[in-house]
Amino acid sequence: RKEVEQDPGPFNVPEGATVAFNCTYSNSASQSFFWYRQDCRKEPKLLMSVYSSGNEDGRFTAQLNRASQYISLLIRDSKLSDSATYLCVVTTPGSARQLTFGSGTQLTVLP
Amino acid sequence: EPEVTQTPSHQVTQMGQEVILRCVPISNHLYFYWYRQILGQKVEFLVSFYNNEISEKSEIFDDQFSVERPDGSNFTLKIRSTKLEDSAMYFCASSEKQRTSGKDTQYFGPGTRLTVL
């Protein structure tokens, strides 16, 4: 079983749509959770950290369900500039700093 | 906004040659990392470095790899004898050690694309 599993997509949505991405992680000992975005051939950039209580940053909402080992990202009112690959990232169990990345979900927002 | 920088942006080398990839982390950061991403695959952790020594490394980081902080600003990754399968994008990252929080955001550089022929 993959350590961090994501639906690879692609997700093609019209501007203004709401889109949700899901991610599961295999090791219940993982402690920190993040969503990064990666544009084509660029570096990963932190989008947001994910907390058990859920957190929101503008149009982006992230949720964590530790019992189900499941992380989600919701993007509301999607913009053309949201087109990217969204990476689900967890810290490796036993390490506070080693990041384990999912393969990413590709999003294309269409005009 | 401070950022991680990496040089060169693209390195082409022959199999068996040594390469050194360079990174300048964000100036007040204390933890440094190397990750790699083979084309079409996920980002993979290689090594973390703190207080002038390796703190963690992955199975990928074998004896062919080494890291160094030769001065107060640069952080380097050396591959001693490159193989075809070393072709990848190599990302440097850095983070600021936070005493009060377990969360420590890693900021990534733009990457060096290594092509081994």
pLDDT in tens, B9-24: 999 999 999 999 999 9
pLDDT of A69 reads 93
Name residue B52's amino acid.
N
Q: Mean pLDDT across the stretch A6-16?
A: 93
The whole-angstrom separation of Cα B73 and Cα B22 is 10
Helix (H, G, I), strand (E, B) or coil at A9: coil
B96/A contact by beta carbon, under 8 A: no
Percent of all residues in chain A with a pLDDT value above 70, rounded to a whole number: 96
Residue B71 distance to chain A (closest CA, Å) = 23
Confidence bin at B71 (pLDDT 50/70/90): confident
Q: Mean pLDDT across the stretch A13-32?
A: 93
A52/B contact by beta carbon, under 8 A: no
pLDDT exceeds cutoff 70 at B103: no
End-to-end CA distance of chain A: 37
Is B89 within 8 Å of B21 (Cβ atoms)? no
Kindly provide the b/e burial profile for residues A8-26, where b requires at least 16 CB atoms within 10 angstroms of the residue's own CB. eeebebeeeeebebebbbe
Confidence bin at A1 (pLDDT 50/70/90): low
Is A105 within 8 Å of A5 (Cβ atoms)? no
Q: How many CB atoms lie within 10 A of CB B33?
A: 28
Q: How many CB atoms lie within 10 A of CB B34?
A: 26
pLDDT exceeds cutoff 50 at B78: yes
Confidence bin at B100 (pLDDT 50/70/90): very low
Burial of B105 per CB tally in 10 Å (0-12, 13-18, 19+) = middle
Residue of B101, B103, B114 to mutate, interface with A, max A Cβ within 10 Å: B103
Residue A16 distance to chain B (closest CA, Å) = 29
A25/B contact by beta carbon, under 8 A: no
Q: Mean pLDDT across the stretch B81-91?
A: 97
Q: Which residues pair with B8 in a beta bridge?
A: none
- Do the bridges between strand A19-25 and strand A33-38 make them parallel or antiparallel, or are there none, so unpaired? unpaired
pLDDT in tens, A81-98: 999 999 999 987 667 678
Q: Supply the DSSP string of B87-101, one letter for each residue.
A: -EEEEEEEE---SS-
pLDDT of B19 reads 98
Residue of A98, A101, A103 to mutate, interface with B, max B Cβ within 10 Å: A98
Is A72 within 8 Å of A80 (Cβ atoms)? no
pLDDT in tens, B37-60: 999 999 999 999 988 899 999 999
Candidates B56, B69, B31, B37; CA nearest to A38 is B37
Give A-chain residues touching B90 at CB under 8 angstroms.
none
